[in-house]
Amino acid sequence: MELTQNLWERYGFTHNPYDTKALSLSKAAPLSVQEAYIPRADSAATADLLTNFLRNPGGGRIVVEGDPGVGKTTFVNFHRQQWETKARHKLISPPGEISVREGWSERDFLLNLLASLSARLRLDLGEKAFEKNKLLSEITAVVGVRSEDGSGLSGSLTLFGFGGGLGRTRSKSVKIGEITNEHLRDYLHGLMELVKKQGFAGVIFHFDNLELLGRRDVGALKTFFEAVRDALQESGVYFIFVANTGMFQQVIVPLPRVRSIFFDTPVRLDPLSALEAKAVIDRRYQLLAVPGKQWIKPVTDQVVESLYHIFTGRIRYVMNAITSLISHLPDSYARSLELAQATTIFQAIVLSEVKALLHGTEEAVFLQAAAAGRFTNSELGTRAQKSKQQIQKYLDNWLGLNLVSQKERVGRNQFYEIDPRFAILREQQEHPQMSSELTETSSNPTSGTNP
Ligand SMILES: Nc1ncnc2c1ncn2[C@@H]1O[C@H](COP(=O)(O)OP(=O)(O)O)[C@@H](O)[C@H]1O
Ligand SMILES: [Mg+2]
């Protein structure tokens, strides 16, 4: 095999057109929101809601919800980019998304806000002005110490004389070696004044992977929101929390004190429509084509459509599947992969993934589960003719391996759902004759030239 770094060159692309990273805010990235974002048609309900949230002067808190891979992170990135560059009242935001980790306290939360916002201001002010600023160098010291020793704040910090420049704590005596959360909130307040002095209307903080925390433990998320409630009320700050479907209802609604400071409704994102998903991919073909060269589609549009239906619109899974398909083709293969062949290859890939993890009866029962897609313990038991205990043993193992996930509970019935990447197995069993008659019916060109 040739050791070049571009699997996609043979199709005429500089990068993988099916890359599933969220679109970047940076124009320098191969796929940026500026160039690669496709507006969502559901915008009347979603984009407008987020825009109206950000149009409220003074700050706020909102939840953006949706299933994995529907485009939540990208959606928020797009809006951040718009407000940073196109708005009359500009809202700046730290370059990356912030990830909430398990067990975060208010302190961890505040330290992360301070670190990311001061990093953003450093870009804006330039190194010189940044270092001259007393508040910024204090914060850098606090945040810096924390990242060096990991454990917390050390006594030597008092050298920096924090508290002096900050209104609310000026009169308080500060114990040696201790920075209270109130100090940290004052720092945030100080930073916000600086932001406004720079001519910006506010700051957007984008917290991205609450779904990771929340899935394991709703209680942990509740504790987190209770703990950070005060920090969330800094004026001029817009907090956007991205989470899995249902988080607002499960976590925020039962906490009246927290709910009262949140935007009424969460923004709920549905999967992109089939046309939008296709537009996303077509746009990428154009953007990533090697300049002046011919390119061809690595897979036909029928493959994209078929995967779109298999994965019920979750575009991340669609694009991952295509990358996986192309990675399994021989190097010499340089035409558009057609549906019949794609289906066969993809089923083989997924099946071998199952066989690597499960064996014998368990494997057979899993394939039954895959055929069902969604099921309860007793439904699967009936289908596979196994006892409740036996099924439960399997389910626990599959949960641990991320082969299935828990869905809602209806009465005493817990529903389970097969991970979307196994949906193709269902296809196989339901339509064993998945045939070639579906291919080559489209008049879409499968190639083009980059102008
Ligand atoms: N509106 C859109 N326009 C262009 N690409 C999109 C759009 N929505 C999602 N994508 C792409 O789909 C993939 C999944 O999106 P992502 O934002 O990571 O989903 P989520 O955060 O919901 O898991 C990413 O590669 C992203 O670039
Ligand atoms: Mg995401």
Q: What are the pLDDT digits (tens) for 11-70?
A: 999 999 999 999 999 888 999 999 999 998 876 677 789 999 999 999 999 999 999 899
Q: Which of 211, 278, 315, 318 to mutate to test the pocket of ligand 1 (most atoms within 8 A of CB)?
A: 315
Q: Whose CA is nearest to atom 4 of ligand 1?
A: 37
CA of 363 to the centre of ligand 2 (A): 31
CA of 22 to the centre of ligand 1 (A): 5
Share of the chain above pLDDT 70, in %: 84
Q: What average pLDDT does range 201-222 have in this prediction?
A: 83
CA of 23 to the centre of ligand 1 (A): 7
CA distance 447 to 194: 52
Longest Cα separation, the chain: 80
CA of 69 to the centre of ligand 2 (A): 7
CA of 48 to the centre of ligand 2 (A): 20
Name residue, tokens 């910024």.
136
Q: Whose CA is nearest to atom 18 of ligand 1?
A: 22
Average pLDDT along the chain: 85
CA distance 253 to 248: 6
Reply yes or no on whether the pLDDT at 410 is more than 90: no
Q: What average pLDDT does range 260-269 have in this prediction?
A: 94
On the 0-12 / 13-18 / 19+ scale of CB atoms within 10 A, 59 is buried
CA distance 189 to 195: 10
Phi–psi pair at 204, nearest 5 degrees: -105, 125
Q: Is 315 in the pocket of ligand 1 (CB under 6 A)?
A: yes
Evaluate whether 229 touches 223 at the Cβ level (below 8 Å). no
**For residue 397, what pLDDT is reported?**
96
Q: Is 298 in the pocket of ligand 1 (CB under 6 A)?
A: no
**For residue 399, what pLDDT is reported?**
94
Residue 4's pLDDT band (boundaries 50, 70, 90)? low
Domains annotated on the chain, with CATH: 39-269 (3.40.50.300), 274-451 (1.10.10.10)
Q: What are the pLDDT digits (tens) for 122-173?
A: 888 888 999 899 999 989 888 874 433 333 333 333 333 343 334 333 333 3
Evaluate whether 73 touches 208 at the Cβ level (below 8 Å). yes
| Of residues 392, 328, 319, the one with CA closest to residue 362 | 392
| Of residues 68, 63, 67, the one with CA closest to residue 50 | 63
Q: Is 252 in the pocket of ligand 1 (CB under 6 A)?
A: no
**For residue 155, what pLDDT is reported?**
32
Q: How far is CA 73 from the centre of its chain?
A: 4
Q: Is 146 in the pocket of ligand 1 (CB under 6 A)?
A: no
Q: Is 40 in the pocket of ligand 1 (CB under 6 A)?
A: yes
Q: What are the pLDDT digits (tens) for 339-363?
A: 999 999 999 999 999 999 999 999 9
Q: Is 23 in the pocket of ligand 1 (CB under 6 A)?
A: yes
CA distance 246 to 406: 13
What's the pTM? 0.85
Q: Is 69 in the pocket of ligand 1 (CB under 6 A)?
A: yes
